[in-house]
């Protein structure tokens, strides 16, 4: 369990394991303070949806956890490892336990889909080319892409296919945690629903913990176990989505009780 923290739930007394622990996090860019004393736990095996208004720093939080942004203050532990101040060797080791799919994929434009998926294997393992190729093909098949897509470049793919290719790359090292940044943004309703279904199936089949930044109410109702709302530079509230309508805050009320929320709840 890599030293992850176990905690008993107040409702059942059952233990749950915090695979990500964020404490007193402050993110600041010049004079702009995005987060201040932000605290968050992510539990093993859950799909956590991160929501909030524009400028609340949803993607900044994700990027800070995975080490792409250095915070002004605070601590972050992933699987029991201090990813901000721990030994470099430990931080490099723990990076193999997560995968990230950014908005619109962020694939290497000069590499084919298969080469993109093989890139983490090439960086972090000493596997043979043949075995890396076989594993890459397996991950591409796992996310529902046809075999013909392996040799295509990102510019030759639709938006939905790029997102699936990015997910295949995020899964290449068999991670325990997957970070998704606005995974359904730009997709039509049918494509977004299919992507949500894929995430739900993979989460159950592979035992993943999913940290998902999203504004998509359909995704929240379809696959999220909990929701964390960013507001006022912190995690304002977190819990099951059905509890969000009880929160006495203008943005939370508007977001979770409006007509789009009601429609998403009926579909979910």
> What pLDDT sits at residue 86?
85
pLDDT at 57: 95
- Determine contact, residues 247/232, Cβ cutoff 8 Å: no
Per residue in 104-139, pLDDT (tens digit) is: 768 999 999 999 999 999 988 889 999 999 999 999
pLDDT of residue 105: 67
> Can you give the pLDDT at residue 92?
86
Coil, strand or helix at 179? strand
As a CATH number, domain 45-66+92-267 is: 3.40.50.300
Residue 3: per-residue pLDDT: 47
| Model-wide pTM > 0.85 | yes
What is the residue extent of each domain of the chain?
Answer: 45-66+92-267
3-state secondary structure of 13: coil
User: Residue 163: which residues within 8 A CB-CB, separation 6 or more?
Assistant: 101, 104, 105, 183, 184, 187, 195
Is residue 16 helix, strand or coil?
strand
Residues of the chain with pLDDT under 70: 1-14, 105, 259-268
- Cβ atoms of 76 and 156 closer than 8 Å: no
């Amino acid at each position: 369990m890599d030293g992850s923290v176990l905690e008993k739930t107040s409702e059942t007394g059952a233990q749950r394991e915090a695979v990500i622990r964020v404490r007193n996090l402050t993110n600041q860019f010049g004079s702009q303070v995005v987060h201040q004393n932000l605290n968050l736990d992510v539990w093993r095996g859950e799909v956590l949806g991160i929501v909030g208004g524009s400028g609340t720093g949803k993607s900044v939080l994700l990027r800070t956890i995975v080490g792409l942004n250095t915070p002004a203050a605070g601590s972050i532990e992933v699987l029991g490892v201090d990813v901000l101040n721990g030994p470099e060797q430990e931080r490099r080791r723990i990076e193999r336990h997560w995968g990230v799919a950014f908005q619109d994929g962020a694939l290497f434009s000069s590499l084919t889909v298969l080469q993109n998926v093989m890139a983490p294997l090439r960086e972090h393992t000493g596997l043979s080319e043949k075995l890396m190729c076989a594993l890459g093909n397996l991950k591409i098949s796992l996310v529902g892409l046809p075999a013909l897509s392996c040799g295509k470049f990102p510019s030759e793919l639709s938006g939905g296919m790029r997102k699936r290719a990015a997910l295949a790359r995020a899964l290449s090292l068999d991670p325990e945690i997957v970070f998704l940044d606005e995974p359904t943004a730009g997709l039509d309703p049918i494509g977004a629903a299919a992507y949500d279904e894929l995430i739900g199936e993979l989460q159950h089949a592979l035992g993943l913990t999913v940290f998902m930044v999203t504004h998509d109410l359909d995704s929240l109702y379809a696959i999220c176990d909990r929701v964390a709302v960013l507001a006022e530079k912190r995690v304002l509230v977190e819990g099951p989505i059905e509890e969000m309508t009880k929160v006495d805050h203008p943005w939370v009320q508007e977001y979770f009780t409006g007509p789009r929320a009601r429609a998403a709840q009926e579909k979910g």
